[in-house]
Amino acid sequence: MVQYYPDTTKRFDTTLDAPPQEEVRSVHLTQSEKSSSWNKMMLYMEEHPMPEEKAHAEYQKMPSKRSPLVVGLVAVLALVILGILSASQYSLPGSPLHFLKTNINEPIRTGISALTGTQSEWDQRRALHRLYEAEMLFKKQRLDEGTATTLVAQFHDAQKPLLASEKASATPRIENYKNEVLGYYNRFQEKITEGGNLGLPIFIAGVKDAIGKIDVVLNKRSGVGSMAKSTANAAIEIGVSLSKKIFAAQETMQITVSARNTGTADQRFDFRTGCQSKYWIDTKEFGSEFCTQALTSFTLPPNTSRQWSFMAQAPKNPGNHTVTGEVIDYGNASIDIEVRK
């Protein structure tokens, strides 16, 4: 029986004395009592199931103690990944971050540029960045043969989309791109005598080959070039091309000589010295002044070609002149140019 007194706020049981706190703590259910209680609870839940919709709603209302932690960890992880990808933009070949740069960052940017209509701009930047990386490695004395070979392959792959563009508006961009590549090429040539970078000759050869490919594309776009059948083999086609047909007096010209296998079988080319190609401007011969005295050769599979590029000066005298390119002992082709004051 519980009684309340008007003169006090105390409440007490007049029939039972509260047991000491220590005795309450010592009271425990036996194992059989626990099992019996559990079975009764489960039986009750089976006989009175909660509707599925209500159960789901009740579950959704339950606060998740882990969700803030999970969200926080995901956010931190995302920031770390973004930080690493951002840092990889400045990495050079040989760094672990450079793999992320060329295999994650750049493909993502390629996709974005395709969606935003800036594909050609990005293709040009990506190709030129390989040359920039080579220049930085050269300054750090880290341009070894293996790195140079890898960079050359990446450079050629990077410029393929730019050169493959069929848009007429791409021609000025390709011409601008060629001028920038020539700038790198000339700087590399100036450093060829410096030691400490065993991969530099490999890289220079790769850039020179890339310039030849650029010229082929520009020649196709402008129609400037000449092809002739080889005097040694009808399946071999010799070509010569320039970026344009009109030059200023003593303007720098790039002459590209090519050999193409138009047949269905491999064609082997054998040479008596290290010089495989040369050119003439009118009747004056160039390109074979310094030849190593060693036998050289190469093989062209069907429908493939090889190119040789030469930097030359246009004649001093205004008027019409003839440029002839030759693959030594295999034939030549000629093209006329005009020199203006």
Phi and psi (nearest 5°) for 47? -80, -20
Total domain count for the chain? 2
180 and 209 inside one domain: yes
Cα angle 336, 338, 341 (rounded to 5 degrees) comes to: 160
Asked whether residue 227 carries a pLDDT value surpassing 50, the answer given is yes
> pTM score, two decimals?
0.47
197 and 261 inside one domain: no
Q: What is the pLDDT of residue 115?
A: 83
Domain that holds residue 266: 224-341
**Pick from 173, 207, 223: which residue ends a domain?**
223
The pLDDT tens digits of the residues spanning 71-130 come to: 666 666 666 555 554 555 667 887 777 777 777 878 888 888 888 878 888 888 888 988
Say if residues 202 and 155 touch (Cβ distance below 8 Å): no
132 and 204 inside one domain: yes
Q: What is the pLDDT of residue 82?
A: 56
242 three-class SS: coil
260 and 206 inside one domain: no
The pLDDT tens digits of the residues spanning 252-274 come to: 999 999 999 988 899 999 998 89
For residue 5, name the pLDDT band (cuts at 50, 70, 90). very low
235 and 192 inside one domain: no
Read off the CATH number of the domain in which 326 is found: 2.60.40.2360
**Pick from 169, 195, 223: which residue ends a domain?**
223
The pLDDT tens digits of the residues spanning 43-60 come to: 766 666 656 555 555 545
133-159 average pLDDT score: 89
234 and 103 inside one domain: no
312 and 252 inside one domain: yes
Beta partners for 285? 280
The pLDDT tens digits of the residues spanning 178-215 come to: 889 988 988 888 887 777 778 888 888 888 888 877 87
- In a domain, residue 197? The reply is yes
Strand blocks (E) in the chain: 2-4, 11-13, 226-229, 236-241, 246-248, 252-261, 267-271, 277-281, 284-286, 296-300, 305-313, 319-327, 331-340
Neighbouring C-beta atoms of residue 278, cutoff 10 Å: 20
What is the DSSP annotation of 113-140? HHHHT-HHHHHHHHHHHHHHHHHHHHHT
**Pick from 223, 248, 278: which residue ends a domain?**
223
For residue 161, name the pLDDT band (cuts at 50, 70, 90). confident
- In a domain, residue 296? The reply is yes
- In a domain, residue 124? The reply is yes
- In a domain, residue 78? The reply is no
89 and 212 inside one domain: yes
- In a domain, residue 160? The reply is yes
224 three-class SS: coil
How many whole angstroms separate alpha carbon 179 and alpha carbon 189? 15
198 and 243 inside one domain: no
235 three-class SS: coil
- In a domain, residue 14? The reply is no
* Rounded (10°) CA dihedral 293, 290, 285, 236: 50
95 and 127 inside one domain: yes
275 and 182 inside one domain: no
Which among 298, 323, 327 has a CA at the least distance from the CA of 312?
Answer: 323
163 and 249 inside one domain: no
- In a domain, residue 30? The reply is no
- In a domain, residue 329? The reply is yes
* 267-271 and 296-300 strand pairing: antiparallel
